[in-house]
């Protein structure tokens, strides 16, 4: 149980963030500064995030050096920071309290009357953003922490009042077990983060532990199209509010789903078989119908009216790196997406196929982490059927080191064994040259992955 309280930290002591440029860390740093704390931090390189923090009056040291933490009253670090990080080593040697980001976020959640956590293997950022739009449409003043840039709030965070907090809850390293939500959404549960979890059963157990955190007066919004989610919520001590597209036993359901020429859905929403509203979305794909059902159920729990729900969903046009149109090059549309798991790949390519309108779909896929590429290679290989041409770039290491278990070429060959449409090309410059020579007017180029593959689209457009 997370016993840490911000009340133990004096306002005249600095809070130091190791890796302050991270999307969640930067948001927490801004909230604490706004609360009157003295905040500073470090990151391994300068970025748009660190420059923005500096502009907000938060000093950022570039590079991790032991002396950076001197004088701090609290050190905050992410699960990705290794135990031999010089700043973390120095903090412990000096007896400075050092906590993980998730512990701080859990302590912060206790300040809000209605903390809402959005969890699941896929769709957290989109769903958090949808719910944020609804809360704002209802005239409320939520605090928002989202894993991407959301145009309506001008970034990845909004520091609002103390009545509502909506945030993403990631299962990696069981971080969300340090949180204190009153309401939680579980979108789906699949194999991922296998550098931490043993297998799918281990992941389901972790989600069940997350469900057990919620108090009896709270509520779980659960996707009953997903058997693993059903298993995870089986012993919930709070109320369970199910939603589904296929499962007719769910409380909340979508009927008469129609897609327009952009792949945007409209559908009737039923609760216990009775029609509640008709919803129109401004983002593509069947997966977003499911995401929308989850936030409709959550908004209903919060007492938000039908008009605000419909208006909020219609106003949501996506976040950055979620099927984001970057521009057009010689009649070729360039779209970027964060998909980095086989299910996400399939879902995103289905949307791309609908959007291509007869042109060819080119996918530049950057695998994210060696562990995921190795353990899910067979699943990845089957995920690209909706694509005419797949270009696999080098694996993005993120928090890992290359162990030699797998190379991007291995993944390209596995995809070829399934659909005969993949090749490996080393280096972004070479990929851009190939695309300029081969993509034709009317085609669609999709850059895909959780690393820096989005730079290819920017290189093509520039």
Sequence-distant (6+) residues with CB within 8 A of 211 are: 184, 186, 220, 232, 233, 235, 236
Q: Is 125 a catalytic residue?
A: yes
Is the Cβ–Cβ distance between 174 and 100 less than 8 Å?
no
β-sheet bridge partners, residue 61:
42
Is the Cβ–Cβ distance between 284 and 355 less than 8 Å?
yes
Orientation angle between helical segments 286-301 and 342-356, nearest 10 degrees: 110
| Closest C-alpha among 340, 327, 313 to residue 121 | 340
Helix (H, G, I), strand (E, B) or coil at 76: strand
Q: Is 413 a catalytic residue?
A: no
CA distance 161 to 143: 6
Scan for tokens 């903390």, then name that residue: 115
Question: Which candidate in 14, 78, 103, 124 is catalytic?
Answer: 124
Strands (E), 65-193: 72-77, 98-100, 114-119, 143-150, 155-158, 164-168, 183-186
CA distance 433 to 426: 12
CA distance 169 to 180: 10
CA distance 342 to 348: 10
Is the Cβ–Cβ distance between 459 and 434 less than 8 Å?
no
Which secondary structure element, helix H or strand E, spans residue 222, and what is its range? strand 219-223
Question: Which candidate in 121, 125, 126, 447 is catalytic?
Answer: 125
Q: Is 56 a catalytic residue?
A: no
Question: Which candidate in 14, 87, 100, 168 is catalytic?
Answer: 168
β-sheet bridge partners, residue 274:
271
Interstrand relation of 143-150 and 444-448 (parallel, antiparallel or unpaired): unpaired
Is the Cβ–Cβ distance between 424 and 364 less than 8 Å?
no
Residues with a known catalytic role:
124-125, 168
């Amino acid at each position: 149980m997370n016993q840490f309280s911000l009340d133990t930290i004096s306002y005249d002591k600095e809070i130091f963030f190791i890796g302050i440029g991270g999307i969640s860390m930067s948001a927490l740093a801004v909230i604490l500064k706004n609360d009157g704390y003295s905040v500073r931090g470090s990151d391994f390189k300068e970025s748009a995030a660190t420059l923005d923090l500096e502009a907000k009056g938060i000093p950022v040291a570039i590079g991790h050096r032991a002396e950076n933490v001197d004088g701090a009253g609290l050190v905050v670090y992410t699960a990705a920071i290794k135990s031999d990080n010089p700043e973390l080593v120095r903090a412990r040697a000096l007896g400075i309290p050092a906590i993980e980001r998730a512990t701080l976020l859990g302590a912060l959640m206790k300040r809000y009357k209605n903390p809402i956590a959005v969890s699941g293997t896929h769709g957290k950022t989109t769903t958090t953003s949808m719910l944020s739009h609804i809360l704002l449409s209802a005239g409320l003043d939520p605090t928002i922490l989202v894993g991407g840039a959301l145009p309506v709030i001008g970034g990845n965070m909004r520091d609002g009042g103390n009545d509502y907090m909506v945030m993403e809850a990631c299962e990696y390293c069981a971080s969300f077990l340090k949180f204190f939500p009153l309401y939680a959404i579980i979108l789906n549960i699949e194999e991922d983060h296998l550098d931490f979890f043993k297998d799918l059963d281990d992941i389901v157990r972790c989600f069940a532990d997350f469900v057990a955190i919620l108090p009896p007066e709270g509520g779980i919004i659960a996707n009953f199209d997903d058997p693993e989610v059903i298993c995870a919520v089986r012993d919930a001590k709070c109320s369970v509010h199910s939603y589904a597209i296929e499962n007719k036993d769910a409380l909340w359901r979508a009927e008469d789903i129609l897609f327009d020429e952009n792949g945007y859905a409209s559908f009737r929403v039923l609760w216990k078989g009775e029609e509640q509203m008709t919803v129109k979305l401004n983002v593509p794909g069947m997966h977003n119908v499911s995401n929308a059902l989850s936030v409709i159920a959550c908004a209903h729990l919060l007492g938000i009216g039908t008009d605000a729900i419909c208006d909020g969903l219609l106003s949501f046009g996506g976040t950055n790196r979620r099927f984001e149109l970057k521009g057009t090059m010689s009649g070729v549309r360039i779209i970027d997406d964060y998909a980095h798991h086989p299910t996400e790949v399939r879902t995103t390519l289905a949307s791309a196929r609908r959007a291509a309108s007869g042109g060819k779909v080119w996918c530049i896929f950057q695998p994210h982490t060696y562990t995921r590429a190795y353990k899910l290679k067979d699943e990845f290989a089957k995920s690209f059927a909706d694509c005419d041409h797949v270009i696999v770039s080098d694996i993005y290491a993120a928090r890992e080191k290359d162990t030699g278990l797998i190379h991007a070429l291995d993944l390209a060959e596995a995809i070829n064994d399934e659909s005969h449409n993949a090749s490996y090309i080393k280096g972004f410059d070479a990929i851009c040259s190939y695309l300029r020579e081969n993509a034709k007017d009317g085609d669609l180029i999709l850059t895909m992955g959780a690393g820096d593959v989005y730079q290819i689209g920017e290189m093509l457009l520039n």
